[in-house]
Structure 1
Amino acid sequence: MLENSYLVWEGESLIDGSPIFLVLTGFVFPTSNRRTGRSMIQSWILQKNLTPTSAAKQGLDFGVCGNCELKMSKSACCYVNMLPLNNVYRKHTTGTYPKFGANEIAILKRYRYPVRIGSYGDPTAVPFDVWEPIILASNKHTGYTHRWRDLGNDACRWKNYLMASVHTELEAEEAQRMGWRTFRIIAPDAPLSNNEILCRNAEDDSLKCDSCLLCNGSSSKPNIADRVHGLNWKVSNFVKYLNQQ
């Protein structure tokens, strides 16, 4: 019987060696994320020994988030709602998540569920070889990394599937020179660069990630910008962060 959630992998973070795990959710019950769309499978990369809210508040989330400037311990404007992630963490501690395997890969191949690579956590904390079978089976995905500067020789593989997540025009230009397509979060009234288009959902909220799929790594598609969104205090913190750059 198909379950809603699966434990895909657990091991040492490729960022700092700390114990982390990866869970996929949404195989039976649709996601509540209105922007990504009801059919998109979500993926959660979490520290193994701390609840997500505690890890974020204490700055102990380096193993899953790296040096992301949006973290709660830095600029405090990460748009992810952390509280539901505590439930994912607690279920993992009980050992009740079924293991993701060949049957679930076959389901992805048959139904082509789109997958969001890194709904929380940087995908590059998890080995590339864990992600690639999932991405190839689905053939529909979105994904981002803040670690585009730090991947060394592995960057070539990740560029195929992930966007470089950037916050300023200078960062975007740097990433693009390195061969990345970019996804830039901008202030509510900020203009686009000449080589960017606005996220389609920001223009028309009936268009969801699960049907758009522009944010799927290297291709001839344009770079994407999206207006900062989320709780008002997080938006305010993001604008303050940009003004300090």
Structure 2
Amino acid sequence: MLQNSYIVWEGASLINGSPIVLILTGFVFHTSNRKTGRLIQSWILQQEFVPTDAAKNGLDIGICGNCPLKLSHSGSCYVNLLPTNNIYRKYATGTYPKFSTHEIEVLKRYRYPIRIGSYGDPTAIPIEVWEPIIFASQKYTGYTHQWRYCDTRWQQYLMASVESEAEAKEAQIRGWRTFRITAPNAPLMSNEILCRNTEDDRIQCENCLLCDGVSSKPNIGDRVHGLNWKVSNFEKYINSTAVSAGNGR
């Protein structure tokens, strides 16, 4: 019988070698995330730490790498870690079954779209683990902050996640399409369009699927979102990087 959640892979992070796990959820009960809609969610977690503890204490390098939005950095990551804690606790108690070829066939049959990295950076896990899932679904969205360092094969599946025009230009020169988070009133670049859901919240990721790696599709910009204090932290981070750039640092 089809379960809602599965352990896909456990192993050493490609970022720092720490033990991490990949869990898929949403096969039976779909996410309540109104923006993404009916996407299979994927969670990349440190095996040894509750997500909130890992985030607060900077123990999430194995899954988040050098992401500047982390709680231990700028504190502006939009992910709500409380539900993520629940996923981790079920994993720790051995609740989740192992992912198998049966679930691959389910993906092939129903073409469930996949969110590659609902939490955690997808590139922490070997691309060979992901590709059977991606090929079975053929519909996906995904992002990475590790675009300077990861396997360039990821360009065909992921957007480079950036926070400034300079980063966007660098990533594009390197062959990536970009997804740029901006301050609430910041303008878009000439080669960006606004996230379709921000433009019209009736458009969900499951139907849009613009954020699917290298193609002729445009780069995407989106206004920072989440809790007010996270938005405030993001604006402080952007302002501080702009000052540093102005000082030539």
In the TM superposition, what is the alpha-carbon distance from 1:148 to its structure 2 partner?
Answer: 0.4
* RMSD of Structure 2 on Structure 1 (CA): 0.5
In the TM superposition, what is the alpha-carbon distance from 1:23 to its structure 2 partner?
Answer: 0.3
Mapped partners of 2:226, 2:92: distance in 1? 29
Mapped partners of 1:145, 1:207: distance in 2? 23
Where 1:179 maps in the other structure, the secondary structure is coil
Q: Does 1:202 align with 2:235?
A: no
Cross-structure match for 1:131 = 130
Mapped partners of 1:22, 1:88: distance in 2? 11
In the TM superposition, what is the alpha-carbon distance from 1:95 to its structure 2 partner?
Answer: 1.4
Mapped partners of 1:80, 1:221: distance in 2? 26
Mapped partners of 1:82, 1:197: distance in 2? 29
Where 1:244 maps in the other structure, the secondary structure is helix
Cross-structure match for 1:167 = 163
Cross-structure match for 1:18 = 18
Where 1:118 maps in the other structure, the secondary structure is strand
Q: In percent, how many aligned pairs have the same letter?
A: 71
Of 219, 222, 239, 1:223 maps to 219
TM-score (norm 1): 0.98
In the TM superposition, what is the alpha-carbon distance from 1:96 to its structure 2 partner?
Answer: 1.9
Cross-structure match for 1:193 = 189
Where 2:118 maps in the other structure, the secondary structure is coil
1:41-190 equivalences under 5 Å are 41-151=40-150, 154-155=151-152, 157-190=153-186
Structure 1 stretches of 4+ moved >6 Å: none
Where 1:98 maps in the other structure, the secondary structure is coil
In the TM superposition, what is the alpha-carbon distance from 1:93 to its structure 2 partner?
Answer: 1.1
User: For this pair of structures, how many residues does the alignment match?
Assistant: 241
Consecutive unaligned residues of structure 1, counting only runs of 5 or more, are none
Mapped partners of 2:162, 2:108: distance in 1? 32
Cross-structure match for 1:32 = 32
Amino acid at match of 1:102: T
Mapped partners of 2:160, 2:13: distance in 1? 20
Mapped partners of 1:36, 1:45: distance in 2? 18
Amino acid at match of 1:88: I
Where 1:131 maps in the other structure, the secondary structure is helix
In the TM superposition, what is the alpha-carbon distance from 1:70 to its structure 2 partner?
Answer: 0.1
In the TM superposition, what is the alpha-carbon distance from 1:139 to its structure 2 partner?
Answer: 0.4
Cross-structure match for 1:3 = 3
TM-score (norm 2): 0.96
Mapped partners of 2:120, 2:2: distance in 1? 25
Mapped partners of 2:27, 2:222: distance in 1? 27
Mapped partners of 1:188, 1:3: distance in 2? 40
Where 1:64 maps in the other structure, the secondary structure is helix
Q: C-alpha offsets along residues 135-189 of structure 1, whole Å, 9 cap, x if unaligned?
A: 11000000000000012xx21x100000000000000000000000000001110
Amino acid at match of 1:84: P
Q: C-alpha offsets along residues 75-104 of structure 1, whole Å, 9 cap, x if unaligned?
A: 000000001111111111111211111000
Mapped partners of 1:96, 1:51: distance in 2? 16
Amino acid at match of 1:22: L
Where 2:97 maps in the other structure, the secondary structure is coil
Amino acid at match of 2:73: K
Mapped partners of 1:46, 1:196: distance in 2? 31
